[in-house]
Structure 1
Amino acid sequence: MIGKRMRHIGRYHEIAVSLLRHGFGMIVDELGFSSFLSLPPRWRAEQGKKEGKTVGERLRLVLEELGPTFVKLGQIASTRPDLIPAPIISELEKLQDQVPPFPFADVRRRVETELGGSLETLFRSFDETPLAAASLGQVHRAVLPSGQAVAVKVQRPHIAARVETDLEILQDLAVLAERRLDWAATYQLSEIVDELARSLRQELDYTVEARHAERFAQQFADDSSVYVPKVFWDYTTKTVLTMEYVEGMKLGELERLKANGHSLKTIAERLAEATFKQMFEHGFFHGDPHPGNVFVLDDGTLSFIDFGLMGRLRPHVKHHLSSLIIALMRQNTDGVLGAIYGLGIVPDGVDEGKLRDDLDELREKYYGVPLGEISLGEAVEDLLSVAFR
């Protein structure tokens, strides 16, 4: 482990300095890195950095500063209210991939190497300007020889090696933190980091995303309100993913949707129905359904894209979540209490009397709300914030 730290000492230094800069110097000191990395006194780096900023805000700034691996891990963590406290999730949800596109020469090299031919023979056309660029890859519109329009996701050069280095460092830091910090041991930090790392490693394999898309499509095979773009396997590898290109309006383009005659109420109902079907019928759900990843087609059909991050619910979790929603709607505090104990989101030593009082207060928020209008994520966040008060 010492050898690994010395090999990546520059990156350890960058991480420690960023933590210092944003008010986490005590953690750096307690991990023993101030002396190991010959860092300046903590108070100089921390001066004034905590004022007016919450822990979540400062953590978000650290992740943004440290680059793609950390931003992506933060985005994955923001979808896990079962692992991360609600106030921190609200900040992590603000994380965005703010990265420039990589050169088209690298795109060409990757696609031609992976697919075994020149762009000119593989595609009728291939747009040089990407539709979108993110931390792990970017997407280009292209047309197959058949005339089929497709979206081609191409992985960034060398990103897998950089991500792996960062993940090794984070897993090392998590184990070290559990030995030295009580809170890290209590929350089993290394297990959280390991789970997030597994998700990120999966996102680097585009064949996994392709299989996710096909499984998701099967779930909605008999539902005309949801459409999933087709995967083109002959044009897909671990670092190149080719899927059908869909024309539509992004879910977040509210004014444009209204101007084109779409009912926002109908769209919201369809999205809620699709969400509940994913969660409670199949237990396999889209892990990143932000407005940029859901399109509304001309006929009002919803089309999901980007299946790199998916979630799964085990049967007992589905059972307790459904019980939770029903109990909230019925204002049944005992039912809510039983469900959250079943989900394992009540910390040890909680004052059950106070918890019950807080739940009585929370249930008023959901009284009389139709099932289709309940945000499952928000409900779980509300309950977590109550449980950890």
Structure 2
Amino acid sequence: MIRNQFKYINRFREIAILFSKTGLGFIIEESGLDKLLSLPSRLFNKSQKQEEDKTIAERIRLFLEEAGPAYVKLGQIASTRGDILPEAFIKELEKLQSNVPPFSSETARDLIEQELDIKIEDTFLIFEDEPLGSASIGQVHRAVLKTGEVIAIKVQRPNIERNIRIDLEILKTIAQVAEKNFKWAKQYQVTDIVDELSTAIIQEMDYTLEARNINRIERQFKNSEDVKFPHVYEMLSNKTILTMEYFEGISIRKVDELSKKGFDRYQLADTFARTIFTQIFEHGFFHADIHPGNIIVLNDGTLGFIDFGMVGKLTDNVKQNFGSLLIGLMQKNSKKVVRSIIQMGVVPDDVNIDDLYEEAELMQDKYYDIPLKDLEFGDAVRDLFTITNKYHIHLPKDFTLLAKTLITLEGNIEILYKDYSILSVAEPFGKKLLLKRLNPKRVAEDKFEDWILLTDIVEDSVTNIHQFTKGLSTRRLPISLELKEEKSIGRHLDRTINRISFSIVLMSLSILMAGIIVGSSLLGQGSILYKFPVIELGTILAVAMFSWLIFTIFKSGRM
């Protein structure tokens, strides 16, 4: 049955042999795939003995490196998922290097001309055949337009999308078979992991998405003088070709060169950190691949960002809870940290919340005597992921991407300026976000939306109950049931709904007023009703609606 799914049998055999070669042959052998693929048993026995001194995590890294660019990229993306993979696996995957040789300049030229329907000599004054860099999905060439503008052209490898899709299909089949045969595979839901990672890698191969990412962040920072994002040349870009402004400068990893040029490394670190936190807390859209090669100090001291194939997008819920979690970490408040995780993630029903709090308390004790400036965010996040993995708490993937980004940021900042504390800079961003949530206008808007929703629910419930009670008197039911007091039941149900409505609206009004008072005090303001007429009107409207509800309920006599 499985054999019929093997559309690419030769490539499947290659992958299976690589599993064997890197010490993972037991997955193929014990799941019976070796027989279906007509592979000899001695192949698996020999390789297992050769690699038995290596951990499973090491074997997986070796397999990914041997299997080719698609698998390397898959592993690099997987290294950002500390929420679903154990720490030992993450550390190994972080070692993955593409080491992919560039394809020929002739091929690059042909692809550019075919995809963009242009002639190289008609479009560029200069086209450099030696690529600036080569990666698993594509490579970048420097060129100069006829207008004199210096550009960077990212060219996707020929047939890379087709090859990656084939490999992903094979990998998913192996994951499905593994889940049927291995308890650990089922526990970690490896098929779901492969699906998630496959979606990420397919999206990264679409350069039109990367162009949109650049344009979006460029718009968000259009008034900034400290950072710069490359301009995209839309007419010279498509799904497999991306043409953008070329940045001339120094990578942040070259600290000695930066010092020789007279750049203020503390200022660079501060600009870098504040830019990322602005993307996270204010825009909810951030560059998620900020390794040193993608951050360049331009000649005028501006910080340039490149390579936007991987970005993170945060919902308001994740932003709010991350802000709360960050403040909990800084205040060493384990309860706040756990509450943030619970509100953000999916906690299995069988998890004992008290045990979760106890684990967080133990983590807090580990960092209790460490000053905030010396607290390493990366260590705290890794400990958090250890806890969430232990209790199988599923966190939003963009939160884990965010955590990985901040760990990378911390490492980069340490290279630039060792004594710079990113948590100290993050604190005001987190507090500002929480204050925004308690802003009276925001609270009023949220409560008004809740009121509309509640009104709809109550109206629907009353309609349904009336229809139900009417049906009891006019229709025959499958069971013999006589209700002599159906009107009494209807009145009782109406009374119950009215009481629920009264309680919920009273609670909503209380929350609204509390938000106004708390938000006003947090912002250091006096009576906001005189300063913000919008809030005053909203409050009056809420009280009026509340009074109307009370009047109608008491008038009906069903309270």
Say if 1:365 and 1:253 are closer, same or farther in 2 by CA, change over 3 A.
farther
Say if 1:50 and 1:321 are closer, same or farther in 2 by CA, change over 3 A.
farther
Say if 1:276 and 1:30 are closer, same or farther in 2 by CA, change over 3 A.
farther
- Residue 32 of structure 1 aligns to which amino acid in structure 2? G
Say if 1:264 and 1:364 are closer, same or farther in 2 by CA, change over 3 A.
farther
- Residue 368 of structure 1 aligns to which amino acid in structure 2? L
Aligned to 1:33: 33
The answer to whether the Cα contact below 8 Å between 1:79 and 1:288 also exists between their aligned partners in 2 is: no
Compute the TM-score of the two structures, normalised by the length of structure 1: 0.91
Which stretch has the larger CA shift, 101-110 or 179-188?
A: 179-188
- Residue 50 of structure 1 aligns to which amino acid in structure 2? E
The Cα shift of 1:345 comes to 7.6
Compute the TM-score of the two structures, normalised by the length of structure 2: 0.65
Aligned to 1:318: 319
The Cα shift of 1:339 comes to 1.9
The Cα shift of 1:244 comes to 0.2
- SS of the aligned residue for 1:125 comes to strand
Aligned to 1:45: 47
- Residue 80 of structure 1 aligns to which amino acid in structure 2? R
Say if 1:17 and 1:109 are closer, same or farther in 2 by CA, change over 3 A.
same
The Cα shift of 1:21 comes to 2.8
In the aligned structure 1, how far is the partner of 2:114 from the partner of 2:25?
Answer: 45
The answer to whether the Cα contact below 8 Å between 2:363 and 2:383 also exists between their aligned partners in 1 is: no
In the aligned structure 2, how far is the partner of 1:219 from the partner of 1:135?
Answer: 30
- Residue 41 of structure 2 aligns to which amino acid in structure 1? P
| Identity across the alignment (%) | 43
Q: How many residues align?
A: 385
Unaligned stretches of 5+ residues in structure 2: 391-559
Aligned to 1:194: 195
- Residue 368 of structure 2 aligns to which amino acid in structure 1? E
Which stretch has the larger CA shift, 296-305 or 205-214?
A: 296-305
Q: Structure 2 matches for 1:101-140, cutoff 5 A?
A: 101-140=102-141
The Cα shift of 1:206 comes to 1.1
In the aligned structure 2, how far is the partner of 1:382 from the partner of 1:261?
Answer: 39
Aligned to 2:93: 92
In the aligned structure 2, how far is the partner of 1:276 from the partner of 1:210?
Answer: 22
Which stretch has the larger CA shift, 82-91 or 149-158?
A: 82-91
- Residue 48 of structure 2 aligns to which amino acid in structure 1? E
In the aligned structure 2, how far is the partner of 1:246 from the partner of 1:304?
Answer: 9
The Cα shift of 1:3 comes to 5.3
Say if 1:3 and 1:84 are closer, same or farther in 2 by CA, change over 3 A.
same
- SS of the aligned residue for 1:47 comes to helix
The Cα shift of 1:166 comes to 0.6
The answer to whether the Cα contact below 8 Å between 2:334 and 2:357 also exists between their aligned partners in 1 is: no
In the aligned structure 1, how far is the partner of 2:262 from the partner of 2:279?
Answer: 27
- Residue 11 of structure 1 aligns to which amino acid in structure 2? R
The answer to whether the Cα contact below 8 Å between 1:217 and 1:227 also exists between their aligned partners in 2 is: yes
- SS of the aligned residue for 2:174 comes to helix
The answer to whether the Cα contact below 8 Å between 1:346 and 1:388 also exists between their aligned partners in 2 is: no
Say if 1:365 and 1:186 are closer, same or farther in 2 by CA, change over 3 A.
farther
In the aligned structure 2, how far is the partner of 1:382 from the partner of 1:345?
Answer: 18
Aligned to 2:182: 181
In the aligned structure 1, how far is the partner of 2:111 from the partner of 2:346?
Answer: 44
Aligned to 1:277: 278
In the aligned structure 2, how far is the partner of 1:242 from the partner of 1:143?
Answer: 11
Q: Which has the higher contact order (CA 8 A, sep 6+)?
A: 1
The answer to whether the Cα contact below 8 Å between 1:210 and 1:241 also exists between their aligned partners in 2 is: yes
In the aligned structure 2, how far is the partner of 1:172 from the partner of 1:286?
Answer: 32
- Residue 9 of structure 1 aligns to which amino acid in structure 2? I
1:360 aligns with 2:364: yes
Q: Which has the larger radius of gyration?
A: 2
In the aligned structure 1, how far is the partner of 2:229 from the partner of 2:237?
Answer: 17
Aligned to 2:328: 327
- The C-alpha deviation readout for 1:50-89, integer Å capped at 9, x for no partner, is 31x3332221111001000000011111223233333222
The Cα shift of 1:205 comes to 1.4
Say if 1:87 and 1:223 are closer, same or farther in 2 by CA, change over 3 A.
farther
Say if 1:261 and 1:4 are closer, same or farther in 2 by CA, change over 3 A.
farther
Which stretch has the larger CA shift, 302-311 or 180-189?
A: 180-189
- SS of the aligned residue for 1:289 comes to coil
The Cα shift of 1:321 comes to 1.4
The Cα shift of 1:366 comes to 6.1
> RMSD of the alignment, in Å?
2.3
- Residue 269 of structure 2 aligns to which amino acid in structure 1? A
The answer to whether the Cα contact below 8 Å between 1:329 and 1:367 also exists between their aligned partners in 2 is: no
After TM superposition, the runs of 4+ consecutive aligned structure 1 residues lying more than 6 A away are: none
The Cα shift of 1:93 comes to 1.6
The Cα shift of 1:4 comes to 5.7
Say if 1:256 and 1:382 are closer, same or farther in 2 by CA, change over 3 A.
farther
Unaligned stretches of 5+ residues in structure 1: none
Say if 1:203 and 1:388 are closer, same or farther in 2 by CA, change over 3 A.
closer
- Residue 131 of structure 1 aligns to which amino acid in structure 2? L
